[in-house]
A and B are shown apart, each in its own frame.
Chain A
Amino acid sequence: EVQVVESGGGLVQPGGSLRLSCTASGFTLSSYSMNWVRQAPGKGLEWISYITTSSRTIYYADSVKGRFTLSRDNAKNSLYLQMNSLRDEDTAVYYCVRDRYEEAFDIWGQGTTVTVSS
C-alpha cells in the first residue's frame, strides 16, 4: 500500500523545538517532491513547506520561514521537519503530503498533532 506516516508530534512549550518525521512506504520517496500541510484546530488547510527530490529547492510559508527546516533522507525513505521557536499559533495537525509531479497532492498521511502550550 502506498502511504506516508508521520510521527514526532506532541506537547511543547512556547519557544521550544520539535522534529517531525515522515516515512514513506509502497513507493520510492526519492522519486517525489514532498510537502507539509498543517491544520489548526477548527481551521482550514495551510501549506507550510516543500522540498524537491534532491533537496535542491526548498520553500517555506512566511509563517514558518526562519523557524522551520525541511530535510529528507532518501536512503531512509524519510522526510524531516525541524520546528524551532514554536509559538501558540503553530498548534495544529501536521500532514506529510506527496507531490505528484507538481500537479496534485495525492498521498496524505494521517497527521501528527503538535500542541504548543505552557
Chain B
Amino acid sequence: AIQMTQSPSSLSASVGDRVTITCRADQGIKNDLGWYQQKAGKAPKLLIYATSRLESGVPSRFSGSGSGTDFTLTISSLQPEDCATYYCLQDYSYPRTFGQGTKVEVK
C-alpha cells in the first residue's frame, strides 16, 4: 500500500495568513491526489482533485500543486471558516490511502 505522510500534524495561524500543508507519497502517484476538508462533527468535503483542480464551489484561496511524490495544499489567505482538519488522499492505486491529517486552527 502507498503510504501518505502529511505535515504538519497541526498548525495555528492568523486570519489572512498564507498556510501550506504538504503530503508526501512513498512512491510516485503521478498527479492522482486530492485534498479534503473536514470540519468538526461533519463529513469530509472535497476541495481539490487531480493535484490542482479546484472543486466547484470551493473558494479560490485554496490551491494545490505538486506531482510524483510531493504535493502541497495552500490556503492563500486564511479565513475563520477554514478551521478544520485537512486530509490528502491518493487515488493512484488501491488500497486508497489518506494522509494522517492536518488540524488547522485559526487564531
Contact = CB atoms under 8 A, between A and B. Distances in A.
Q: Which among A59, A102, A104, A108 has the highest number of chain B CB atoms within 10 Å?
A: A104
Contacts of B43: 95, 108-111
B59 interface: no
A34 to B, nearest CB: 12
A24 B66 CA distance: 34
Interface residues on B, range: 20 to 34
A47 B96 contact: yes
Interface in A26-74: 35, 37, 44-47, 50, 59, 61-62
Given A103-B50, A105-B36, A47 B44 contact: no
Interface residues on A, range: 20 to 34
A37 B50 CA distance: 19
A106 B46 contact: yes
A44 to B, nearest CB: 5
B82 interface: no
B49 A104 contact: yes
Nearest to A6: B43
A44 B95 contact: no
A44 B101 contact: yes
Contact of B98 (A46, A50, A108): A46
Contacts of B49: 100, 103-104, 106
A111 to B, nearest CB: 6
B98 A47 contact: yes
B18 interface: no
B68 to A, nearest CB: 17
Contacts of B98: 44-47
8 contacts: A37-B44, A45-B44, A61-B95, A62-B1, A103-B49, A104-B50, A105-B36, A105-B91
Interface of A: 35, 37, 44-47, 50, 59, 61-62, 95, 100, 102-106, 108-111
3 closest cross-chain pairs (CB), A and B: A104-B49, A47-B96, A108-B43
